[in-house]
A and B are shown apart, each in its own frame.
Chain A
Amino acid sequence: MRFRWTNLNPTLRRAILVVMIIVVWQLWITLAHVPQLLFAAPLDVAQTFVTDIGNGSLVGATVHTLEILIIGMAIGGAIGIVLAAFGVLSSVGHDLLRVLTSAFNPLPAVAVLPLAMLWFGLTPNSIIFVVALAAIWPVALNTESGFRTISSTLRMVAQNLGLRGPRLVFDVLLPGALPQIITGAKTSWAFGWRTVVAAELVFGVAGAAGGLGWYISNARYYLQTPAMFAGLVTISVLGLLVEALFNAVESRTVVRWGMSLAPEAREEAPAALEEEAARELVAP
């Protein structure tokens, strides 16, 4: 049988590409004599990884960043869900949510950092504040639309059974809106993640110790280029891990219940199109 790229396991396909990129990167640095101060080679980055995980500085920075991010997102997410509930319960709440989201959603939360520093000082609270601000709107908007898209038939069934109050919320509205809540949480995570790193960079420049942003900024200060790369790789890998976590939650809930497509199915779509195009070309 002829070799076909799409016949390989998707994880294997990606792994092959990653290895190839790293090899090309290393070869380029070694063969082109790129100054080590400007661009680090993969082997040096790997070495920094090992040392800085060993001495705890990279682990400490990661834990610090994640801690702030989780607290900020939990606060933002809770406020977002409450706002969404107001949005469906009253028309004033709905309009308020529109006004607030159109005012704050286009605003990069990190732009509020100087104000937050004025209010909370050079403390983690300032960063928690901006992360929460970044997380609220995607959760609120998506959750509200989730509540609204629950079919009128399901609502009538709930009424028919006599469901009211918290039981209606927890047994019907929240699970019914779960696909959109997860979508909102994903977007919030993406916003929050960017915000926390940016805020830490600003803090790092200002001299306050802390998370991954500070780790990178600190590495620049001491001209440790491989450490800057190690920080970037950590941020990227953590992003992937969290995405995998979201996918696992989805496949255990909304995908299993037939309320959303499987993440793999969504990702496989381009390959399927490619196949179709190939078939069309072959056809007389």
Chain B
Amino acid sequence: MTYRERTGKRVVAVDSVSFDIGRGEKFVVIGPSGCGKTTLLKAIGGFMRPSGGRLTIEGRPIASPGPDRMVVFQDFDQLFPWRTVRGNVAYAQRVAKGGVSKEAARKHADAVLDLVGIGHAADRYPHQLSGGMKQRAAIARAIALEPTLLLLDEPFGALDAITRTKMQRELLAIHERLGLSIVLITHSIEEAAAVGDRVLVLTRGPGRVREIVDVKSAGANAVTYLHQLLDEGAAA
């Protein structure tokens, strides 16, 4: 997949990458910086068109962004600052799912905020939240829309280590409850091994598939093995 920079230069971000994601699967993409992880996620999200190849979701080609593929970004400032936390979650539902009443959207928002553990902060404005709470709110907004695919673009990347580990565990719990399909982009090997069912390892840019690792069958060695793959990928 290639894209044009502002300067008109063509950049090959990811090259000949092919994979399938199963329903309910937690699929992690990892690779050195500049390997095109984010480009790949933006393509799945529909924000960028691949120059070659096909992207389909449930058999339909992906042409544009849509609420069936909700993205949670790394940027803390992804909530609308002029709406409360509850307002953000409720508003997204009313926009993305036609015909939801204000009352129903509010109720559902409260339920989802309780699920991600920030029900007590529903009336606050985003600027009154910590980084971890902002990311929880963004996750709540995304899952409230019941997307077919939840796309996570290093959502915990800017958090401190303790919050990060905690959020990974909570993400797993949410996945267990809702049975979502997840694509998580990360550059943390530990995070990949902790969250993923399968981990796609990309080589240094232009990213190619190094290997798709099945975390369960790799067992306790998963982290070591991923380290090896990434070191080789970086050296190659």
Please give the residue numbers on chain A whose beta carbons come within 8 Å of chain B beta carbons, in ascending order: 151, 153-154, 156-157, 159-163, 167, 171-172, 175-176, 178, 253, 256-259
**Contact A167/B75 with A162-B67, A172-B80, A258-B81 known, Cβ cut-off 8 Å:** no
* Complex CA–CA separation, A40 to B67 (angstroms): 69
Cβ–Cβ contact A175 & B82, under 8 A: yes
Which residue of A160, A171, A172 contacts B65 across the interface (Cβ within 8 Å)?
A160
Cβ–Cβ contact A153 & B78, under 8 A: yes
Q: Is B3 an interface residue (CB 8 A)?
A: no
Cβ–Cβ contact B77 & A153, under 8 A: yes
16 additional A-B pairs beyond A153-B73, A257-B81, beta carbons within 8 Å, are A157-B71, A157-B78, A159-B65, A160-B45, A160-B65, A160-B66, A161-B95, A161-B96, A167-B95, A175-B82, A253-B82, A256-B125, A257-B125, A258-B81, A258-B125, A258-B128
How many chain B residues sit at the interface, stated as a range, is 20 to 34
Distance to closest chain B CB from A106 (angstroms) = 32
Neighbouring A residues of B125 by C-beta, 8 Å:
256-258
Distance to closest chain A CB from B38 (angstroms) = 11
Cβ–Cβ contact B95 & A163, under 8 A: yes
Neighbouring A residues of B201 by C-beta, 8 Å:
none
The residue in chain A whose Cβ has the minimal distance to the Cβ of B151 is A160
Neighbouring B residues of A176 by C-beta, 8 Å:
82
The residue in chain A whose Cβ has the minimal distance to the Cβ of B76 is A153
Contact with A along B122-143 (1 / 0, CB 8 A): 0001111000000000000000
Among A153, A160, A171, find the residue whose CB has the most chain B CB atoms closer than 10 A.
A160
Cβ–Cβ contact B80 & A154, under 8 A: yes
Q: Is B92 an interface residue (CB 8 A)?
A: yes
Cβ–Cβ contact A162 & B66, under 8 A: yes
Neighbouring A residues of B128 by C-beta, 8 Å:
258
Please give the residue numbers on chain B whose beta carbons come within 8 Å of chain A beta carbons, in ascending order: 45, 47, 64-67, 69-71, 73, 75, 77-78, 80-82, 91-92, 95-96, 125-128
Mind listing 17 A-B residue pairs with CB under 8 Å?
A154-B78, A154-B80, A156-B45, A156-B71, A157-B73, A157-B78, A159-B47, A160-B45, A160-B69, A160-B71, A162-B65, A162-B67, A162-B95, A171-B95, A258-B81, A258-B128, A259-B127
The residue in chain A whose Cβ has the minimal distance to the Cβ of B128 is A258
Cβ–Cβ contact B73 & A156, under 8 A: yes
Cβ–Cβ contact A258 & B66, under 8 A: no
* Complex CA–CA separation, A111 to B220 (angstroms): 80
**Contact A258/B78 with A161-B92, A163-B95 known, Cβ cut-off 8 Å:** no
Neighbouring B residues of A153 by C-beta, 8 Å:
73, 75, 77-78
Neighbouring B residues of A259 by C-beta, 8 Å:
81-82, 127
Neighbouring A residues of B80 by C-beta, 8 Å:
154, 157, 172, 175
* Complex CA–CA separation, A259 to B77 (angstroms): 11
Which residue of A156, A160, A178, A257 contacts B127 across the interface (Cβ within 8 Å)?
A257
* Complex CA–CA separation, A163 to B127 (angstroms): 23
Neighbouring B residues of A167 by C-beta, 8 Å:
95
* Complex CA–CA separation, A156 to B73 (angstroms): 10
Cβ–Cβ contact A178 & B82, under 8 A: yes
Cβ–Cβ contact B47 & A161, under 8 A: no
The residue in chain A whose Cβ has the minimal distance to the Cβ of B84 is A257
Neighbouring B residues of A151 by C-beta, 8 Å:
75, 77
Cβ–Cβ contact A160 & B70, under 8 A: yes
Cβ–Cβ contact B77 & A161, under 8 A: no
The residue in chain A whose Cβ has the minimal distance to the Cβ of B42 is A156
Neighbouring B residues of A162 by C-beta, 8 Å:
65-67, 95-96
Distance to closest chain B CB from A236 (angstroms) = 34
Neighbouring B residues of A161 by C-beta, 8 Å:
67, 92, 95-96
Neighbouring B residues of A154 by C-beta, 8 Å:
77-78, 80
**Contact A160/B67 with A153-B75, A172-B80, A178-B82 known, Cβ cut-off 8 Å:** yes
Neighbouring A residues of B71 by C-beta, 8 Å:
156-157, 160
* Complex CA–CA separation, A160 to B42 (angstroms): 11
* Complex CA–CA separation, A156 to B75 (angstroms): 11
Among B73, B96, B128, find the residue whose CB has the most chain A CB atoms closer than 10 A.
B73
